[in-house]
Amino acid sequence: MRIAVVGATGMVGEIMLKVLAERNFPVTELIPVASERSVGKEIEFKGTKYKVVGLQTAVDMKADIALFSAGGETSLIWAPKFAEAGTTVIDNSSAWRMDPTKKLVVPEINATELTKEDKIIANPNCSTIQMVLALAPLHKKYNVKRVIVSTYQSITGTGVKAVQQFENECAGVEGDMVYKYKINRNCIPQCDSFEDNGYTKEEMKLVNETKKILGDDSIKLTATAVRVPVVGGHSEAVNVEFSNDFDVTEVRTLLHNTDGIVVQDNLDTFTYPMPRYAEGKNEVFVGRIRRDESQANTLNMWIVADNLRKGAATNTIQIAEYLIAAKLV
């Protein structure tokens, strides 16, 4: 497979290269792509050095698959050009996620919807992926009615410049600010920009993408997304009301038997998921699984995942692996 990585010099792009190498993805030629600023820079992949190229050069190289993580604007303009050249695009930005003609895929849940005709495939938002992976098996069994989610999101979710702001603050150095406020020793109740309804884009992604992936518009969902001074991954406190009652032990078993989920839930040993320990891992970790005693048929859980891995690079590469296995590319 000839693989283009668009945004190869960025936070997600760097992890894409790592995950491709770790999973022994069948790369015969790597085409690292970034902005004009980075053209000519060298990127190392599995011991070989590759020169970064610009977008038009990459289109002309007609890769089999292009993994995009270079922002929404780049995706809107360039994904169709790659697709026209015969390259299948898997896009990490929000550009195509809610387009009714594009599939929004978490492989463990809905990869089987993909066909040869899908030339631009959308990868969901990082905070959505980790939540829906846990919701999917529970929805099948008990039917999700309503979800209340509060997120505690890693700085790495805002890209390299945000990590630089955090490091500058920790070192007491003045530098460019990506967030409106200092992030060190703070919590910022704003991830992405605000929409007219008073919610942030990140919050509305959780609402809209969940319904699309689970294929159920009747699910009610409300979200508060918060940026916290953490780098290893996103954490989420998730409260779920079901139509049907459940048994907590059975919930644990269902989650334990779901591909891509690791249940970490033992109060005797103080075992629960934390971003520091999820960092660098491909799985979604679920713990603090307990009944909400204030309301019938309602569950609380705590979900953690490395946003750069399952929330971005790993999920994208799993989609590519599926395309190859199903002979769709």
Ligand X SMILES: NC(=O)c1ccc[n+]([C@@H]2O[C@H](COP(=O)([O-])OP(=O)(O)OC[C@H]3O[C@@H](n4cnc5c(N)ncnc54)[C@H](OP(=O)(O)O)[C@@H]3O)[C@@H](O)[C@H]2O)c1
Report the distance separating Cα 139 and Cα 123, nearest Å: 21
Active-site hit among 139, 170, 187, 234: 234
Say which DSSP state 149 is in: E
Site string for ligand X, 226-245 (x = CB under 6 A): --------------------
Q: Which stretch binds ligand X (CB under 6 A): 4-12, 17-25, 96-104, 277-285?
A: 4-12
Rule CB under 6 A: is residue 12 a binding residue for ligand X? Answer: yes
Site string for ligand X, 40-79 (x = CB under 6 A): ---------------x-------------xxxx-x-----
Pairing state of beta strands 284-291 and 298-305?
antiparallel
Report the distance separating Cα 145 and Cα 311, nearest Å: 24
Where in 123-142 is the site for ligand X (CB under 6 A)? 126
187 is catalytic: no
Rule CB under 6 A: is residue 312 a binding residue for ligand X? Answer: yes
Helix (H, G, I), strand (E, B) or coil at 44: strand
Question: Among 27, 38, 210, 265, which residue sits at the site for ligand X (rule: CB under 6 A)?
Answer: 38
Site string for ligand X, 140-179 (x = CB under 6 A): ----------------xx-xx-------------------
234 is catalytic: yes
Please tell me the count of residues contacting ligand X according to CB under 6 A: 28
Q: Which residue is nearest to ligand X (CB)?
A: 10
Question: Among 311, 314, 317, 320, which residue sits at the site for ligand X (rule: CB under 6 A)?
Answer: 311
H or E segment to which residue 305 belongs: strand 298-305
Least separation in angstroms between CB 26 and ligand X: 23
H or E segment to which residue 4 belongs: strand 2-6
Report the distance separating Cα 303 and Cα 263, nearest Å: 9
Pairing state of beta strands 234-242 and 144-153?
antiparallel
DSSP-assigned beta bridge partners for residue 68: 6, 91
Least separation in angstroms between CB 279 and ligand X: 12
Least separation in angstroms between CB 315 and ligand X: 9
Residue number, 123 or 258, with CB nearest to ligand X:
123
Report the distance separating Cα 162 and Cα 302, nearest Å: 25
Residue number, 156 or 165, with CB nearest to ligand X:
156
Helix (H, G, I), strand (E, B) or coil at 34: coil
Closest CA to 132 of 118, 115, 149: 149
Rule CB under 6 A: is residue 307 a binding residue for ligand X? Answer: yes
Farthest-apart Cα atoms in the chain, separation: 60
For every residue of 97-131, DSSP letters joined together read TT-TTS-B--HHHHGGG--TT--EEEPPPHHHHHH
Where in 83-122 is the site for ligand X (CB under 6 A)? 92-93
Give me the residues that bind ligand X (CB under 6 A), please: 7-13, 34-35, 37-38, 55, 69-72, 74, 92-93, 126, 156-157, 159-160, 307-308, 311-312
Q: Which residues belong to the active site? A: 126, 234
